[in-house]
Amino acid sequence: MSAALPSSRTRWWALVVLGLTQLMVVLDGTIVAIALPAAQADLSIDDGQRQWVVTAYAVAFSALLLLGGRIADFWGRKRTFMVGMVGFGAASAWGGLAQSGGELIAARGLQGVFAALLAPAALAMVAVLFPSGRDRNIAFAVFGIIAGTGAAFGFLLGGVLTQYADWRWCLLVNLFFVVAGLIGGKFLLLESKAEGDTRYDILGTVLVALGLGALIYGFARAEHGWGEADTIGFLAAGAVLMAVFVWWQGRTSHPLLPLRVVRDRVRGGAFLLQAFVGVVMIGAMLYLTFHFQIVLGMSPVAAGFGNVAMTVVIMATAPISTKLFTTFGPRVVLTVGPLLAAAGLFFLSGITAEGSYWSEVLPGLVVMGLGFSLIFVPLQNLALAGVDPHDAGVASALANASMHVGGSIAVAVFTALYSSSVTDALTQGTDRMPALAGGYGDVLFAAAWVMVLGAVTSFGLIRGPRAGATPPAEAVAVGH
């Protein structure tokens, strides 16, 4: 059943609420990164546990996003959004008051669970509120820029809170977002949900959660050796479970992830590129932040500001990127964008212990900003282009899941790569700081090649001058 869209003014205010929600979910993937050294010392967290403060959030978020998308579709997107907000706020409060490393990691995981409800509900409501035309392109450009800059904003806000308040405020600050989201959601958002078959795929949920969990844990164990039995075992189990999941989605009458959502060439390319972006924004940028604090000796605030250059460039060039997207279509901008991001990462991979931020880091971040501006403007629009209203939530979930799965695997793989690089350098007699800088550089070099792969993917899969730029008006309807 469809209903009239709300007034134009109400829709744009609703976008503000949904954008703040997206900002909270994205920045929470990185805001604790700068606080990690302080939290580690305060709670006596060992190095092995440290990465799980970041990874626990991403794993829970990624594993449950598809289910969260289906809950939003079937139960109601506004209702799911509101419940997710309350739960996310409670988990944030628990994490901010944690008295041990185990509590903090558990709270981060619980944040991920409720973020898996919030994110797909918010993105699906953007698709519902802006069904077609120029307004849709603008709305998704705004949403995409928020998603893209949220990670860097998380580093900045984390630095300010850690240095001038306490690392715990990196979690407690979410309560302000939650209050704003609940008030705005109540008065500005309309309920919408899918009609027809609304049965849940419980087996599919179990398979994808266990499969993703096993894969990410297996990659995390690779730090201790790729040939170790538990590393191979978890990776093999994850691969098998994911293969069974895909097989099951093609057989069940009520799939968690309808394969029609990913079979579309343009959407499939967008989902893959989202994963590659997650590798850089969640995985590689974490190590650049470590370089700022540990090697260059920056304060938390200075380290946070160190990432702002890329964010400023993305926001400043977004109007130009939007115009280029409209003029040349997604294939061109989503090929050139990753290549520019790769060029910036290749430059950054040359960081040294003796170098300065201004000569070895800033130019690379500026070039990366130009590239990511071209990526973020159209990416989420393409991921939801032409999606049936019955599948809006799950398509939104997959767009988010792609980025966070890419980031989760990247954190684990980059940890193994970094550890191996540093160990080899120290064994050869290299001093500690140059060894650390070399390890961070190797991570950034690997991330650069991932973005080259992203450019190849876009060029090969995103066909046509304006393929999928805007879905037909009837593609998404508002239902009650």
217-247 pLDDT, tens digit each: 888 787 777 888 989 999 999 999 999 999 9
Look up residue 74 and give its two tokens: 């079937």
pLDDT beyond 80 at 297: yes
Structure confidence at residue 96 (pLDDT): 94
Residue 1 — very low, low, confident or very high, per pLDDT cuts 50/70/90? very low
Q: Positive or negative CA dihedral for 440, 445, 448, 449?
A: negative
Task: Return the pLDDT at 371.
Answer: 96
3-class state of residue 352 by DSSP? coil
Taking residues 29-36, what's their average pLDDT? 76
Tell me the per-residue pLDDT of 422-471, one tens digit each, with 9 for 90 and over.
999 999 999 999 999 999 999 999 999 999 999 999 999 987 554 444 44
Longest C-alpha distance within the chain, in Å? 70
pLDDT at residue 478 is higher than 50? no
Confidence of residue 38 (pLDDT cuts 50, 70, 90): confident
Q: State the DSSP string of 209-277.
A: HHHHHHHHHHHHHGGG-TTSHHHHHHHHHHHHHHHHHHHHHHH-SS-SS-HHHHHSHHHHHHHHHHHHH
Residue 473 pLDDT: 35
Q: Is the pLDDT of residue 83 over 60?
A: yes
- Give pLDDT tens digits for 147-177: 767 777 787 888 888 889 999 999 999 999 9
Domain chopping of the chain, boundaries: 8-190+256-472, 201-255
Whether the CB-CB separation of 399 and 65 falls below 8 Å is answered with: no
Instruction: With CA atoms as reference, report the closest residue to 37 among 368, 362, 293.
Output: 293
pLDDT at 47: 67
- 199, pLDDT greater than 90: no
With a cut of 90, say whether residue 348 has pLDDT above it.
yes
pLDDT tens per residue across span 312-330: 898 899 889 888 988 888 9
Determine the Cα–Cα distance for residues 335 and 75; give it in Å rounded to an integer: 38
Residue 2 has pLDDT above 60, yes or no: no
Give me the pLDDT at residue 464, please: 55
* C-alpha triplet 458, 463, 464: angle, nearest 5°: 135
- Average pLDDT over the chain, rounded to an integer: 86
Task: Place domain 8-190+256-472 in its CATH homologous superfamily.
Answer: MFS general substrate transporter like domains (1.20.1250.20)
Q: Provide φ and ψ at 242, rounded to 5°.
A: -70, -35
The Cα angle at residue 454 between residues 395 and 373, in degrees rounded to 5 = 80
Give the dihedral of Cα atoms 366, 371, 374, 375; nearest 10 deg.
-120
**In this predicted model, what pLDDT tens digit does every residue of 93-132 receive, in sequence order?**
999 999 999 999 999 999 999 999 998 898 888 888 888 7
pLDDT of residue 232: 93
State the pLDDT at residue 263: 85
If one compares 406 and 451, the residue with the highest pLDDT of the two is: 451
